[in-house]
Chains A and B, each alone.
Chain A
Amino acid sequence: MSTAKTLSLTIDGTPCTCESGEYLYDVAKRNGILIPVLCRSDAFEDHRACCRVCIVEVEIKGRRKVVTACVYPVEQECAVYTNSEKIVEERAIVLALLAKRAPESAEIVAMARYYKAPELDRLVELDGGRCILCGRCVQACESLGTGAISTINRGTEKEVSTPYHNPSLACVGCLSCANVCPTGAIPFIQAPSTRSIWGRDFEVLSCERCGAPMGTREEIAYAAKKAGMETPVICDACRKHEIADSMMGTYRLV
């Protein structure tokens, strides 16, 4: 990478500066301008730019175009409009479409209302829909290296699932997918000593010292293997206590 150049731009009239190549969403956020997002998460470096909620208009040399702020790299001076008439309308339509897809998601319904999405009673609602196919869950699973879920099929039949809808042996039951889901669309059952997700039941291990739940047997083993450590039998908090205790002993001897 060459040394980044500093650029100046305006966002909704506010003068801002950024380094060349920075994503527009990040520049706006740093300057206190919040562009709505759904599929973007700070947990990931790459963004899928698929929910299209973060659309804004960018004007360069008098020419305007609609871009997605989450992945648009600012590379020259420009004027950005996050609330132009066009953006307000198109964002509202995108949210109206999402609200029909995920009518059971309180988050989406609230967001659609906030951005004044038209009701459009004429459109069909997906029964029991919560998932907006933002793909964060798949991203999370992929970045962990487990790869238990993916999007399957295409077009209007696209969905997130395990291969052939069968319980996946690759799943470690870590709940990362459910945790990054912005609409709570991934169902799971958490009991004191068991957990169920994606059609599989997992045993939840407890800390041998304090008895606090540590996670599923599979996820603990997976994380330890990845870190090149032995599988722990005590929880993080107890491990810290243990280290502190042993250090205390060490200092006492000095």
Chain B
Amino acid sequence: MTPTPDMTKILVCCGTGCIANGSLKVARAIRDEIVAQGVAATLDLLVEETGCSGMCEGGPIVRILPADIMYYKVRERGAKDIVASLGGDPLKRLLFKDARGERVTAQSENPFYAAQVKIALRNVGLIDPLSIDEYVARGGYEGLKRALAMTPDEIITEVERSGVRGKGGAGFPTGRKWRTAAGYDNYPKYIVCNGDEGDPGAFMDGSTLEGDPHGVIEGMVIGALAIQAEEGVFYIRDEYALARDHVQRAIEAAERAGILGDDILGSGKRMKLSIVRGGGAFVCGESTALMASIEGRVGEPRAKYIRSAERGLFNQPTVLNNVETLATIPYILKEGADAFASVGTETSKGTKVFAMVGKVKHTGLVEVPMGTTLRTLIYDIGGGIIDDRPFKAVQTGGPSGGCIPDSLLDLPVDFDTLKKYGAMMGSGGMIVMDDYNCMVEVARYYVNFLCEESCGKCTPCREGLRQMHAILTDICEGRGEQGDVELLERIGATMQDASLCALGKSAANPVLSTIKYFRNEYEAHIDERRCPAGVCVKLTEFTIDPEACTGCGACLRACPTEAISGAVKETHVIDSEKCIVCGSCREVCRFNAVVTEGRRA
């Protein structure tokens, strides 16, 4: 059914997260209720499963347009009331409660959305991703039409003027990359979409591919026109089943609509797109390893002294762009470079999508202008730290990124600023941590991840990570030695310079940045055999402060090992023999009665 402007649309978020929370059942329940209540007779109605609406923490989300009513945490049983309320007052109990405790109706009234500017995500959550008609109705493929009337040089100039930089993490100017590839008179050329997003906690690219596959396809076709390629490949990680399915179906729809194939919109130009499934290796997000993987070889990077733009996939000139970058391209072509460049900072134009997770109240997918501060992201959009605990650090850029402390919360987030402070913006993963996170343990976690996910080809990365992991494990388990921190720094410096690929060069970042900003925590572990955050099991003991304990029993119920005893309204006691230091008691105690102490006796 083609939507009409004045019809009532019920958008049910069916991103991977909301589906996991039962949103497909919600959509079905709403459809059933519409039939049961017979509302279709009086209202022109359309129920749609959309891509990610952003505020994953509040999912499943149902949005009603044009009234702009946004419901959160909707269950099947809510469908009846939602349908009954159509055309009338919104259902108060399903609305968002803001910081003052007031219910807000429209999306823009929710502070999570208020500071966002959506360019790459302009359609995600608003349209049925499988409907090419809806994409076109929102201005889709207009950018392509404009590009078809331009010369390759004009397209590249437009992209260069926009100032857009690669959003996969490195921030290389997209226009310059395209111009380099366009300059080689060697055919065939290829355009490849990097959809191998592998950072723990990141879901920007997956959500974009799921929620607006045509947007990325349009970006691919425009890029292909610019470098004069006629073939493109989506490299999508195997875990993104829904994204793959949506892209596949969107490719087929675009072929039927004459957008892909032997005669793009009657222009005589050709374009063929296909999908290659990633095998699940993190390192295959690295450009040369990704191309090796597409070619069917071992996913190992090669030295990049000869760039992919000259010799990439199958040794032919290749442009590799990240999903988000490609999703931005149609906007630049349709609205013009100036419109795009008016957003962002001097050197980082436009917007950036972040996947914000961890100890933040409102986790989800957000898109903000470049230069937005971390404080705005975490406190205004994210609503602050869960239980209003103190903020400790935010981990940006995935395993190759760094941890940023609270003293730098007012830094503008863009490509250059974070780099200056020893972190990187990366592809957009953002993990917020509070004072219950041990930074040494965080470093150990990422190094462990990289020990498994490094390709293992070059010495500094493989052996450096192995040794770092052993040292960090020692520190976390109370076997740290004097000089360990300096040794980690020394190995890390060599890894940064001497490793073969970007993964290896940045693999020491989680260690080096935590040492830089949280050296005192390392020292507490080594010198005092104490884990200040109360995370490292062998260095932590929990006790209950008899003064603060009210005997409410919350900790007793939360303890998984029955280590806590005590009668109601009497002081509770932790049996350190049974305690596994999981921290559940500390989390549930509303009186701060669980005290973190040094190593158990």
Q: What residues of chain A have their CB less than 8 Å away from a CB belonging to chain B?
A: 48-53, 55, 66-68, 71-73, 86, 89-90, 93-94, 97-98, 100-101, 120, 122-124, 132-133, 135, 150-151, 153-158
Contact = CB atoms under 8 A, between A and B. Distances in A.
B454 A156 contact: yes
Contacts of B452: 154-157
A122 B451 contact: no
A124 B499 contact: no
B238 to A, nearest CB: 16
Nearest to A91: B498
B497 A68 contact: no
Interface string B429-452: 000000000000000000000111
B303 A71 contact: yes
Given A72-B305, A122-B471, A155 B463 contact: no
A182 B315 CA distance: 30
A60 to B, nearest CB: 12
Contacts of A132: 459
Given A52-B498, A52-B499, A155 B458 contact: no
B456 A66 contact: no
A50 B459 contact: yes
B462 A89 contact: no
A202 to B, nearest CB: 27
A158 to B, nearest CB: 3
Nearest to A101: B463
B118 interface: no
B487 A90 contact: no
Nearest to A126: B466
Nearest to B302: A49
A66 B453 contact: no
B465 interface: yes
A221 B420 CA distance: 61
A50 to B, nearest CB: 5
Question: Which 6 pairs from chain A and chain B are nearest by CB?
Answer: A158-B456, A97-B463, A93-B494, A155-B454, A66-B497, A156-B466
A65 to B, nearest CB: 9
A243 B455 CA distance: 51
B162 to A, nearest CB: 27
Interface in B495-518: 497-500
Interface in B197-256: none
A158 B500 contact: no
Contacts, number: 112
Contacts of B451: 155-156
A158 B461 CA distance: 12
Interface residues of B, number: 40
Contacts of B346: none
B40 interface: no
Contacts of A158: 455-457, 462
Contacts of A157: 452, 456
Contact of A93 (B454, B458, B491): B491
B481 interface: yes
A15 to B, nearest CB: 23
B107 interface: no
Contact of B303 (A53, A68, A89, A122): A68
B467 A100 contact: yes
A68 to B, nearest CB: 6
A154 B494 contact: no
B484 interface: yes
B460 interface: yes
Contact of A98 (B302, B303, B305, B459): B459
B114 interface: no
Which of B299, B487, B491, B494 has the largest number of chain A CB atoms within 10 A? Answer: B494
Contact of B459 (A73, A97, A123): A97
Contacts of A52: 458-460, 498-500
Which of A50, A86, A155 has the largest number of chain B CB atoms within 10 A? Answer: A155
Contacts of A67: 305
Given A52-B498, A157-B456, A98 B467 contact: no
Contacts of B453: 154-155
A170 B487 CA distance: 44
Contacts of A86: 497
A51 B471 CA distance: 23
B490 interface: yes
Contacts of B499: 52
Nearest to A48: B457
B573 interface: no
A154 B459 contact: no
Nearest to B455: A154
Given A156-B451, A156-B465, A93 B305 contact: no
Contacts of A66: 497-498
